[in-house]
Amino acid sequence: MKLLVTGGAGFIGSNFIRHLLATRPGVHIVNFDKLTYAGNPESLSDIAEEPRYRFIRGDITDPAAVADLFALGFDAVVNFAAETHVDRSIEDASPFLRTNVGGVMCLLEAARKTKLPRFVHISTDEVYGSAPAGVSFTEETLLDPRSPYAASKASADHFVAAYANTYGVSAIILRCTNNYGPFQFPEKLIPLMIANAQENRSLPIYGDGLQERDWLFVEDYCRAIALTVEKGKPGDVYNVSAGTPQPNLHIVRTILKLLGKPESLMQYVKDRPGHDRRYALDSSKIQRELGWKPLVSFEDGIRRTIDWYRSNASWLEHARSGEYRNYYDRHYTNRVETFSR
């Protein structure tokens, strides 16, 4: 299989590429990434010379670059490329509109014109809005995005569904709960708390800290994505979750306990605008139809995640300081292709 991964230098994308290369010996992967602040080539330094892997720097919002890219011919595309941080979308929504909607449109147009066999779009549970206590949203739940980020992803989902319905694009949407694990940029809750705690810095907690999230270890999500590429039904949506929502406050306390740090490092701060109270998804469809299920418990996954950040202090330091851009200049600039006009 020849696979295009867009946004493959990001957190989930880089883990997915590594997972496929390790488990699918027949796969050949092209990684197309703009390398924004959260796209870190250092996350894939260990496979840079892998003959089944090729990196091309480019922007999914550039129609000419995307057309040239699709001319290479692919069996499937998995689109991770997106702006993803809710706080940043509240400060300025325009990059989210440009990439998460306009960029997806560029990819869909290229998929339509080239009759791409399979297009898998990576969405989010946030498109459903906040889940009432005791409720887990299904794939049939109406979308109710509450933040600019969620609105941009919901809009993209509608375009993906429309292209499948109108033009017959063989597209599938995956909506997953919060991921965590190695290589996650330290602006998200778990890596930020780990990084701050290790440095004895304050751990900012929005509001009362009782917002519930359903954390899924990234390896489990990578397995779900791979199964969707291989066996998913075109036109369908699949929810992916661990099925165990937990308050953010519990997550932070667990991290502090495992690191041997005092709870006095926690600092409650003003809640962000439009903060969804609870996310919860019913993933019975993907379990029933594709045979997926989560294998990594939160207790095991959070220990593995903390151990990884402890063992990769230089990666974390480079990510927090922007030093990974210098890494790119030193190791990649003279030997990667760039698609842009």
If you average pLDDT over residues 91-101, what whole number do you get? 95
pLDDT value at residue 222: 98
Cα of first residue to Cα of last residue in the chain, in angstroms, is 28
Q: Extract the tokens encoding 229.
A: 């590429």
pLDDT value at residue 337: 56
SS3 of 246-266? EEHHHHHHHHHHHHCCCHHHE
How do residues 212-258 score in pLDDT, each as one tens digit? 999 999 999 999 999 999 999 999 999 999 999 999 999 999 999 99
Cα–Cα distance measured from residue 321 to residue 332, given in angstroms and rounded to the nearest whole number: 19
pLDDT at 335 over 80: no
pLDDT at 27 over 60: yes
pLDDT value at residue 322: 66
Three-state DSSP class for residue 122: strand
How do residues 76-94 score in pLDDT, each as one tens digit? 999 999 998 898 999 999 9
pLDDT value at residue 313: 87
Catalytic hit among 125, 157, 212, 219: 125
If you average pLDDT over residues 326-341, what whole number do you get? 47
pLDDT value at residue 331: 44
Contact yes or no for 41/336 (Cβ under 8 A): no
Q: What is the mean pLDDT of the chain?
A: 92
Three-state DSSP class for residue 271: coil
Catalytic hit among 149, 180, 279, 309: 149
Q: Extract the tokens encoding 258.
A: 């495992």
**Domains, the chain, ordered by start:** 2-180+216-243+278-295+322-339 (3.40.50.720)
User: Is 276 one of the annotated active-site residues of the chain?
Assistant: no
Distances (CA, A) of 99 to 16, 110, 337: 21, 15, 21
pLDDT at 333 over 50: no
Quick one: pLDDT band at residue 100, thresholds 50, 70, 90? very high
pLDDT at 334 over 90: no
Other CB atoms within 10 Å distance of the CB of residue 260: 7
How do residues 223-236 score in pLDDT, each as one tens digit? 999 999 999 999 99
pLDDT value at residue 40: 82
User: Is 337 one of the annotated active-site residues of the chain?
Assistant: no
Contact yes or no for 323/38 (Cβ under 8 A): no
pLDDT at 106 over 80: yes
Tell me the backbone φ, ψ of residue 338, rounded to 5 degrees: -130, 125
How do residues 31-78 score in pLDDT, each as one tens digit? 999 998 788 888 898 998 999 999 999 999 999 999 999 999 999 999
Three-state DSSP class for residue 58: strand
Three-state DSSP class for residue 339: strand
If you average pLDDT over residues 281-296, what whole number do you get? 98
pLDDT at 97 over 50: yes
pLDDT value at residue 234: 97
Residues 6+ apart with CB under 8 A from 163: 108, 111, 112, 169, 171
For residue 339, what are the β-bridge partners? 58
Catalytic hit among 33, 59, 126, 157: 126
User: Is 91 one of the annotated active-site residues of the chain?
Assistant: no
pLDDT value at residue 4: 98
Contact yes or no for 31/7 (Cβ under 8 A): no
Q: Which helix (H) or strand (E) holds 226?
A: helix 218-231
